[in-house]
């Protein structure tokens, strides 16, 4: 069962259960997945990661502007989207992958960060946020 089919099934369940907030969030997610499918994108997880990131950024903006209730709604949608994504890599596993990528790229200073990221991102795609990866690479190259 594809991710789109799973979201459709969950949408039907949420509608039957009368969960208005969940229905709204699932409809948005389903719409984005279908739009990406029509455009020829097969990477459903990339669509979900993008949508989760949008919700998190919106929640941050709402909080900064004193709109806590809207931030809570965005965070709830981000959590819902997260439930359809694979679990993130634990820090210890990610650090080990970063160290291996640094060695593979032959990096020795922060100037080599681009080369390390080029090697590393395909290995962790979908399992770790780019900011988190970048931070760990930066720490690794500075020590």
44-89 confidence digits (pLDDT tens): 888 998 999 999 999 999 999 999 999 999 999 999 999 998 888 8
Write out the two tokens for 1. Answer: 């069962």
**What's residue 77's pLDDT?**
94
pLDDT for residue 9: 95
Domain end call among 82, 108, 131: 82
The predicted structure's pLDDT at residue 123: 86
Specify the pLDDT at position 34.
92
Q: According to the model, what pLDDT value does residue 29 have?
A: 93
Same domain for 7 and 50, yes or no, is yes
Total number of domains constituting the chain? 2
Say if residue 62 is in the same domain as residue 114.
no
Task: Answer yes or no: do 38 and 71 share one domain.
Answer: yes
Q: Are residues 33 and 102 both part of a single domain?
A: no
120 and 57 fall within a common domain: no
Range of the domain at 108: 91-142
CATH assignment at residue 66? 1.10.1510.10
- For 4, 21, 31, the CA distances from 27, given in Å and listed in that order, are 11, 10, 6
In tens, the pLDDT along 1-47 reads: 788 999 999 999 999 999 999 999 999 999 999 999 898 877 888 89
Q: Where are the alpha helices (DSSP H) in 19-67?
A: 20-38, 44-64
């Amino acid at each position: 069962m594809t991710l789109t089919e799973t979201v459709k099934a969950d949408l039907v369940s949420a509608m039957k259960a009368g969960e208005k907030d969940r229905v709204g969030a699932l409809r948005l997610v389903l719409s984005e997945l279908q739009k990406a499918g029509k455009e020829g994108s097969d990477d459903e997880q990339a669509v979900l990661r993008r949508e989760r990131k949008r919700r998190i950024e919106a929640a941050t903006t709402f909080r900064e502007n004193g709109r806590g209730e809207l931030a809570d709604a965005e965070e709830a949608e981000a959590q819902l989207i997260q439930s359809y994504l694979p679990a993130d890599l634990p820090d210890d596993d990610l650090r080990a992958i970063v160290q291996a990528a640094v060695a593979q790229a032959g990096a020795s200073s922060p100037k080599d960060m681009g080369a390390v990221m080029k090697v590393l991102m395909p290995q962790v795609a979908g399992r770790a946020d780019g900011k988190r990866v970048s931070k760990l690479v930066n720490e690794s190259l500075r020590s």
